[in-house]
Amino acid sequence: MTNAAISIDAIRDARRRAAGVVKTTPLDLSTTFSTLCGREIYLKLENLQKTGSFKVRGALNKIQLLDPAARGRGVITASAGNHAQGVAYAARMAGVAATVVMPETAAFSKVAATGGYGARVVLAGHDYNEAYERATTLAREQGATFVHAFDDADVIAGQATLGLELLEQLPDVDTVVVPVGGGGLLAGLISAVHGAGTRARIIGVQAAGASSLQPSLRAGARVQLDCVDTIADGLATRSIGARPFEIIQAGVDDAVEVSDAEIAEAVLLLLERAKTVVEGAGAVSLAACLAGRIAGPGSKVAVVISGGNIDTNLLDRIINLGLAHEGRLFRFTTLLQDRPGELQRLVTCIATCGANIHQIRHERAQPGLALTQAAVTLDLETRGREHIAEIERVLHDAAFSVLRVSTNGGVA
């Protein structure tokens, strides 16, 4: 165990404090994902935790350690969603008033859930960092305790209880794959797994659009990103926390990243194959396994599914992105001569390939179109990438142009 790590005694104490509040979540050996990944894949389902994510573990430990005077002054935090709900729930259980500052861009469902647990919600800023600045200002003004989402030893100790649980469920685990935003969960798992004397490899996974861990490890110091852009909103922080980075730098075995398309595919597969609803942040660890990013030895791999609080509007977009990445959704635009029979000819070509038209949009007034042209965009349900290639060949042979369009609306 590294000198910076949280002590195993502190983690065991945190677990005792969590008894009766925090659930012991399932560790599920997935035959489907084991086959796809070529090794035993065990899903640690923290999406089934109280409040829908692991975050309640750290929030509860921090709040339970407050002295009576601090409890009377209340707590304040900043969060894009999961930590917000964890603090709100833990504060209610402890009888402590809680204020949660969330970005103005936070999913409505997460804002509503946080308020539903009894917290006062303040919307401020465009991302976590701006919400954090407002929250720390309020904490100073009100004399309240700030409960950091990841850069706090007591919070990390609470997150680390997941590691003790995991080792009891799978003592001979040899690889643990962990989602990383600010790094509190990864730091906690390093502390717990190594502190318990197990030498399992620990691998952190970030979304490519919020990837600060790899550059930080290369630089030997924390790197702050100028901006973040990912469907994994729970990981959308610009840098790793100072305390987590000390622990991670000394104890992590590898750090990898995955694209939004790979995250979306993992969310889709979890929904279809495991009948499990998981948010983007919770799926990055499985996405890394499916994408072949977990290199080296390891036959028993514990994949932390860290949360399931996904906005239903975002879920629809993620499913479409996942279908496109798998080759099961093909969106393209073609130009037709604006005359009778041309659209029927296009539809007939598609029908001969055995594809199903999910949606069709016909546009005559698009800028740049000749008066004799119409632009048609189609969404096709397809069987895979080879099927898409077949459709493109048939359309090309019939003199139709094909411009692939991404599910986000840009050119693919």
pLDDT tens digits for 65-114? Answer: 999 999 999 999 999 789 999 999 999 999 999 999 998 988 788 899 99
Q: Is pLDDT at 184 greater than 80 in this prediction? A: yes
Lowest mean pLDDT among 154-168, 243-257, 384-398: 384-398
Q: In the structure, what pLDDT confidence band is assigned to residue 127 with cuts at 50, 70 and 90?
A: confident
Q: DSSP letters of 172-188? A: T--EEEEE-SSSHHHHH
* Of 44, 55, 62, 110, catalytic: 55
CB 193 within 8 A of CB 171: no
Q: Is 55 a catalytic residue?
A: yes
Q: Is 300 a catalytic residue?
A: no
For the chain, the average pLDDT equals 93
The fold of the 56-146 domain, in CATH, is: Rossmann fold (3.40.50)
Report residue 301 as tokens: 């791999």
**CA-only gyration radius of the chain, Å:** 24
Domain with CATH 3.40.50.1100 in the chain: 8-54+152-322, 56-146
For the whole prediction, is pTM greater than 0.75? yes
Is residue 39 classed as helix, strand or coil in its secondary structure?
coil
Structurally, at CATH architecture level, domain 328-404 sits in 2-Layer Sandwich (3.30)
Q: Is pLDDT at 166 greater than 50 in this prediction? A: yes
Look up residue 38 and give its DSSP letter.
T
pLDDT of residue 179: 98
pLDDT of residue 407: 66
Q: In the structure, what pLDDT confidence band is assigned to residue 367 with cuts at 50, 70 and 90?
A: confident
pLDDT of residue 411: 47
Is residue 167 classed as helix, strand or coil in its secondary structure?
helix
1 vs 223, residue with greater confidence? 223
For the segment 208-232, the average pLDDT, to the nearest whole number, is 95
Report residue 229 as tokens: 């852009």
Domain with CATH 3.30.70.260 in the chain: 328-404
Q: What CATH number has the domain spanning 8-54+152-322?
A: 3.40.50.1100
